[in-house]
Chains A and B, each alone.
Chain A
Amino acid sequence: MDMKVNKKLGLKERYNLMTRDLAWTPTYQAVKDVFPYTEYEGIKIHDWDKFEDPFRMTMDSYWKYQAEKERKLYAIIDAFTQNNGHLGVTDARYINTLKLFLTGVSPLEYMAHRGFAHVGRQYPGAGPRVACLMQSLDEIRHAQTQIHSLSNYNKHYNGFQNWRHQHDRVWYLSVPKSFFDDAVSAGPFEFIVAIGFAFEYVLTNLLFVPFISGAAYNGDMGAMAFGFSAQSDESRHMTLGLEVIKFILEQDPDNLPIVQAWLDKWFWRGYRVLTLVAMMMDYMLPKRVMSWKEAWEIYAEQNGTALFNDLARYGIKVPKGWEQACKDKDHLSHQAWNVFYNYGAAAPFHTWAPSEKDMEWLSAKYPDTFDKYYRPVWEHYAKEQAEGRRFYNGTLPMLCQVCQVPMFFTEPDDPTKIAYRESEYKGMKYHCCSDCCKHIFDNEPEKYAQSWLPVHQIYQGNCFPADVDPSKPDFNPLAEVLRWYKITQGQDNMDFADSPDKKNFEAWRAQATSN
């Protein structure tokens, strides 16, 4: 009997059959009623079929590879937990980077899941819809695997226990939270340019690659495993971001100015969030892989220049703010960690002044700025601390209306002068940290006038527990804010030197190496 053997489908054929060929044009309802959000942003798309995922990933292969990633990840997490892997990290200061990550980044993964589910639903094209569906599933996987991995640390260390509660309340967490809330409340095209392109393609390497390499370098197999597992999806996300922006630009010349304006805005919004990563790399890792400045040069300057040269054929220019970001690379981490050192009583992780050895490394990595501008500050703090006067700032800082970072950034050409910008809107004054944030505010004042600024909210009395009576003579506003944050005074906050985390880690380490 003759058997008819069907030839195995090639990648391109399989992709077409499993994406575009499964889509249909609705007839019971008008297309614009099914996809109501595709026109109001002004982006013109003429042919959705022109979008193609260059990876040509189909749902069946997607599930296969994702399942394999999960198996690998959980095998490592189990081994790490079973062997008390947390005692193998360089020292307990390292664990504070994980607290920052869990409170600041993991909730954004969940928001990214929601954001991509939403825009995936709203795009009329099957190609981007499938790619957004995959990304949406990836993002919830990242949130879940990060929470699972870090729950192991929660058994042993302070500051992990109220991460979700704190994400919506604590002063510096409003920086990442407002960034993502800003993106998901934009239209579907702005969202994908903001998150898919400006964040994922231009900036995400600066978040994940140094963080994961840092975890590996500091002996944290648990965080390394979830980081790598998440990052293996990022290449697909970056590709979606780049392909979408090329697709939008190819569809109609009228799209260029809209896309360029979003790029200017979202490059800067994302860059400001990365302030937290800069200080993590230079100050919080006991063993550092590379400095923020080196990472910026590799992943932003070299790679970004290549990217923007490539996109020049569409008329895209380097985003506004790029030049300032490149100038800031010598200053960013030092200024940020100084502010966290100041407000170490109000954060659910520990802070510390760099040791002499740390400062030698910082001098070598920042020869033009560290000794001149920042070493004297740290030496002063260290001296005060040695004499029993560890400095904690009790006055709340002014926040930028747009990025919500405390206004500590200096003028691009004068690192001794804090930058202040001011706008007026409906008779009220609003303050920004930079020309770029002011520009963003001035373009959409009706959006940013509504910012939930933690410092304003504290002063307005909105950040106290319900049982508080501010009229009582012994009312202590800062202590009440900490209670509202669910930060346990003396346990989750303050200097690392005095922390239970430090004491416990030393005791457990001693137990691990002798009877």
Chain B
Amino acid sequence: MSNVFIAFQKNEDSRAIVNAIVADNPTAIVSDQPAMVKIDVPGRMVIRKSTIEGEIGREFDLQEMHVHLITLSGNIDETDDEFSLTWNQ
């Protein structure tokens, strides 16, 4: 199965986002690179507002991710509560 991926600039907000992704996607592979962090997940990745809020300790609008995003790959679906990346194969 192919990986979907997402990459963020390394900063305090994205640390919470990455922790939330790892918590919600047990097969996530995190790779640390200079100034950025890339997360690969086979097939499908889900990013949940509630998990991020637990990590970051405040309300979090999923669209705030745009400020820290570097790149991603996969078909996107976004609602108020959840953001997902999928390959249809």
Residues of A whose CB lies within 8 Å of any CB of B are 10-12, 54-57, 61, 65, 68-69, 72, 204-205, 208-209, 212-214, 216-217, 224, 228, 231-232, 234-236, 238-239, 242, 289, 302-303, 305-307, 309-310, 313
Contact = CB atoms under 8 A, between A and B. Distances in A.
B78 interface: yes
Contacts of A10: 79-80
Contacts of A12: 79
Nearest to A287: B34
Given A224-B35, A238-B72, A306-B87, 5 more contacts: A10-B80, A11-B80, A55-B76, A232-B67, A234-B70
B40 to A, nearest CB: 9
Contact of A239 (B2, B36, B64, B76): B76
A289 B33 contact: yes
B77 to A, nearest CB: 6
Given A213-B34, A228-B9, A305-B2, A65 B63 contact: yes
B73 A303 contact: yes
Contact of A69 (B34, B67, B76): B67
A10 B76 CA distance: 17
Interface in B72-89: 72-80, 87-89
A365 to B, nearest CB: 16
Q: How large is the interface on B (under 10, 10 to 19, 20 to 34, 35 or more residues)?
A: 20 to 34
A69 B36 CA distance: 16
Given A54-B78, A69-B67, A306 B33 contact: no
B71 A238 contact: yes
Given A56-B78, A228-B35, A306-B87, A235 B66 contact: yes
Contacts of B87: 306, 309-310
A234 B73 CA distance: 11
Q: Please indicate which of the listed interface residues B4, B33, B68 has the most CB atoms of chain A within 10 Å of its own CB.
A: B33
Given A10-B80, A54-B78, A232 B72 contact: no
A21 to B, nearest CB: 19
B47 to A, nearest CB: 13
Contact of A235 (B35, B70, B88): B70
B17 interface: no
Contacts of A205: 71
B52 interface: no
Contacts of A214: 34
Nearest to A246: B75
Nearest to A214: B34
A310 B33 contact: no
Contacts of A65: 63-64, 66-67
Nearest to B9: A228
The 4 closest A-B pairs by CB, nearest first: A306-B2, A216-B35, A54-B76, A217-B34
A306 B89 CA distance: 9
8 contacts: A54-B75, A57-B63, A57-B66, A65-B63, A239-B76, A306-B74, A310-B75, A313-B88
B7 A209 contact: yes
A68 B61 CA distance: 14
Contacts of A235: 66, 69-72
Nearest to B2: A306
B3 interface: yes
Contact of B36 (A204, A212, A306): A212
